[in-house]
Amino acid sequence: MSKRPHMPNPGPTQGHKKPRFSPPPQHPEPSISLAPPPGLTVKNAAEVLQRYSGWLRNRPPDTVSHSNQEVSVDGHTYYVATVHLPSNCNVRHRNRNTHVRSQEESRNVAREILGPKQSSAKHDILTTPQFWSRNPQLTTKAYCTVITVTSSKRSDIGRLCRRLCLVTSRPLPFQNEIALDLVEYDSNNSRVFPHARLGPSVPLNLSERQLDYAFEWSRKFVRSLTNQKIDGLLEKAPYLFIPLRTEFSKQTCTENDVAWDELNLWDSFVRDLNLRDFDQLKRSLEDAVLSPNQEFARRYYAVRVRSDLTPNSPAPRDKNISIHQLTAGKDLRVPMQKLRYPNQPIVEAEQVNTAAKGGWASTLNDVKSLHHVIPELSALYFLPASVVRTGTFIPSIMNALDEHLVAAECNQEVFAGKLDHLHVLRAITSPAVHPDPHNYERLEMLGDAVLHFVASVDVVRRAEPGEEGEADAGHELRTERHLIVSNRTLGMASEKAGVVKYLRNSVSRRRNFCPPGWIHGDHGSQPEDCVTFKEIGGKIPSDLVESLLGAAYLSSDKSLQGALDAIHKLHIPVQLRSATELQTATVVARLLGESSHSQGASLILLGYEFKDPAKGRSILCLPPRAASFEQYSFLGNAVLELLLVEQVWKHLHLSPHEMTKLKHSSVNMAALGALAVSTNIVDQMEIAPQAKEHLDAFVAEIRTAEGLASLQGQRQYWTNVSDFKVCRL
């Protein structure tokens, strides 16, 4: 049935040719079937639209239809929109039930108390963890951490990617091995599958000469993996890299496991190949990289030596020219370099992708294109191929390590290290950095439910029984709760707790990798200060607080005491301190009085026996409602939301949006009314005669819809049934 509010005649429009939402003056109604107008006036239009938008927000898109009509009056174009509402829409008329005050009213009162909303603000954000800036200078007494690249799809990745050692002046703050996800989700290369593991940090004793060799090798290694001019001093180096022996395969290493012969063997970046002995040439190209005689150039992984090909052989990709001509260029007018060994073999090789271009991982899922390299025109690179492959992952590994270090600092400085590390890591990661489930969206939803429950009990516990009516009592409770859980309150709490600086809301680019304190040739010195001043959206700090609360709740094995401890560490204004104070029986007894001495017969609903049957019967006796109805409903809503979110949260295949839709569709008025019918709670209700007929019609409609849905294989059969709010228990 179509339904459009009757708009008052605003008179002629001055100065606007196409007003968007004003009906045409002195123009007849469009020729469509309309229901009686809901008494819409200029004063109540905004409120009715607000109620409708709130109802529409969580409705399936196929339950509401719209139609638009364009009309022309006096040369001006106007638009009339007709909304076709289903029968269970709560915007049926202007006059709502007098005993209900909307939650939006409570929010508006709280907003007036809290002041204007702040859209965004600038905060100090950690660009790099403070771990590096707080490290003392590297000395011969150091710590080493083994870096291992892993993959479930390549059994030979241990041979292809050599293990490296990360040398630091103090151990990393992780007791066990940690796994690093190297996928950059914001890039188009979603096929990257390798991961990395960092073993526990163990002491490493070096000599002064070994420390100098390690620094010089690290300097050349960083320049190689970035293919850029990066330099630094040992005094400024936050960490060093050194290669481990080829056969090394443990989680921890000692001085004897380092490939020292590779650190002090090379004085330059390249070395000429021996073309006099082809057997020696073949051995030297095992695990080798070919490069021109310059530092920054295109390089190739040597794959195999082709003795059946020479520089004069036809090029496999173009039979009309030789390999030598293809290497020199197709312009035959340019003289080719004369070769000293015209019969030398050809080396098949794969091009090295630098870290900025995705590294070796970007070629794992592709059909590799082989290049044919003439050994005389190339040189042997100082890094083995297995080290270069691992090096292409280093920017991603260090960026991921920085995220783990920031999470560890947040856990230690805010929560005294009591939270699960991985939960904290996800809690500080925004959707701009990683998609679900690797960001805080799911934890935010869980933390929001926990906070609503705790805040609900807190405001009921602090409330004093008064003489106000039922609507006013519920309104006051909702207002007090909103003062605790609003985004503005949580935003202020995040500043007091100092957690905003740990937020991970920007992606670190591989191409910009540079160790802190080192000098980048194009961008200047990498700042040692690890804090930047960045503008953050107004809602993000509150989301961060809720996600950290969700992480604390999970870390304490869903203990409400753990959640309460986190609430106070996050400076959320809740007075409750102990989980024993959260017992709703104690709270309700204080607010509504002790159990009745004349309880009468027992009361059992859904297998639960009420300890105080009189209180249960007072809720089942409608109308009139008991004076405590709104308080019971207020607490029950908070409990129901927390239990439901805990169940929904377990389904990892659901996106946060789907989880929200499922939650709202399960606890809305229609769903709870259908539940009251299907569980036969309505049979135990005592209804006044004036409401009995209405209740019977509602029960019949629900059971008819349930039967039809069972035949048609539908689930949410209550969506098209008119609400009967008295059934919301």
Which one is predicted more confidently, 111 or 161? 161
Confidence label for 467 from pLDDT (cuts 50, 70 and 90): very low
Confidence label for 419 from pLDDT (cuts 50, 70 and 90): very high
Percent over 70 (pLDDT), the chain: 74
Confidence label for 533 from pLDDT (cuts 50, 70 and 90): confident
Extended strands (E) in 528-657: 531-537, 604-605, 608-609, 621-622
> What's the chain's average pLDDT?
79
- Position 174 scores a pLDDT of 92
* Overall average pLDDT of the 224-243 stretch: 91
- Position 38 scores a pLDDT of 47
What is the b/e burial string over 556-590, where b = at least 16 CB atoms within 10 angstroms of the residue's CB?
Answer: beeebebbbbbbebbbbebebeeeebbebeebbee
Which one is predicted more confidently, 53 or 275? 275
**Domain map (residue ranges) of the chain:** 2-96, 103-126+394-582, 136-264, 270-381
Residue 386 has pLDDT above 50, yes or no: yes
Q: What are phi and psi of 688, to 5 degrees?
A: -65, 150
Return d(Cα 617, Cα 469) in angstroms, integer: 20
- 270-381 maps to which CATH number? 2.170.260.10
- Position 617 scores a pLDDT of 81
Q: Nearest to residue 172, comparing CAs of 216, 135, 123?
A: 135
Q: Which helix (H) or strand (E) segment is 211 a member of?
A: helix 208-226
Residue 290 has pLDDT above 50, yes or no: yes
Return d(Cα 450, Cα 553) in angstroms, integer: 8
Residue 126 has pLDDT above 80, yes or no: yes
* Overall average pLDDT of the 231-260 stretch: 92
- Position 409 scores a pLDDT of 96
Least confident of 114-128, 436-450, 493-507: 114-128
Are the beta carbons of 390 and 149 closer than 8 angstroms? yes
* Overall average pLDDT of the 588-597 stretch: 52
Q: Nearest to residue 311, comparing CAs of 345, 260, 337, 357?
A: 345
| Token pair belonging to 26 | 């002195």
> How far from 728 is each of 472, 592, 642, 700, CA to CA, in Å?
19, 20, 18, 17
- Position 336 scores a pLDDT of 73
Which one is predicted more confidently, 456 or 667? 456
- Position 12 scores a pLDDT of 42
Per-residue pLDDT reduced to its tens digit, 166-183? 999 999 999 889 999 876
* Overall average pLDDT of the 466-479 stretch: 66
Which one is predicted more confidently, 138 or 535? 138
Residue 90 has pLDDT above 70, yes or no: no
Extended strands (E) in 469-546: 519-520, 524-525, 531-537
Confidence label for 36 from pLDDT (cuts 50, 70 and 90): very low
Residue 427 has pLDDT above 90, yes or no: yes
> How far from 573 is each of 373, 482, 490, 618, CA to CA, in Å?
69, 11, 9, 33
Q: Which residue has the tokens 């959707």?
A: 431
Which of 1.10.3720.10, 1.10.1520.10, 1.10.730.10, 3.30.950.10 is the CATH number of 103-126+394-582?
1.10.1520.10
Confidence label for 50 from pLDDT (cuts 50, 70 and 90): low
Which one is predicted more confidently, 31 or 518? 518
Q: What are phi and psi of 404, to 5 degrees?
A: -65, -40
Least confident of 229-233, 275-279, 469-473, 640-644: 469-473
Confidence label for 3 from pLDDT (cuts 50, 70 and 90): very low
Three-state secondary structure of 47-93: HHHHHHHHHHCCCCHHHCEEEEEEEEECCEEEEEEEEECCCCCCCCC
Residue 681 has pLDDT above 70, yes or no: yes
- Position 86 scores a pLDDT of 56
* Overall average pLDDT of the 705-723 stretch: 80
Which one is predicted more confidently, 464 or 488? 488
Residue 44 has pLDDT above 80, yes or no: no
Q: Nearest to residue 465, comparing CAs of 619, 584, 592, 594?
A: 592
Residue 569 has pLDDT above 90, yes or no: yes
- Position 7 scores a pLDDT of 39
Confidence label for 710 from pLDDT (cuts 50, 70 and 90): confident
* Overall average pLDDT of the 459-481 stretch: 71
- Position 509 scores a pLDDT of 80
CB within 8 A of 608, min separation 6: which ones?
none
Return the DSSP state at 599: -
Residue 589 has pLDDT above 60, yes or no: no
Per-residue pLDDT reduced to its tens digit, 345-362? 999 999 998 877 777 877
Residue 595 has pLDDT above 70, yes or no: no
Confidence label for 98 from pLDDT (cuts 50, 70 and 90): very low
Least confident of 48-52, 167-171, 219-223: 48-52
Fold agreement between 103-126+394-582 and 270-381: no
* Overall average pLDDT of the 324-344 stretch: 75
Are the beta carbons of 250 and 528 closer than 8 angstroms? no
Q: Which residue has the tokens 């409609």?
A: 701
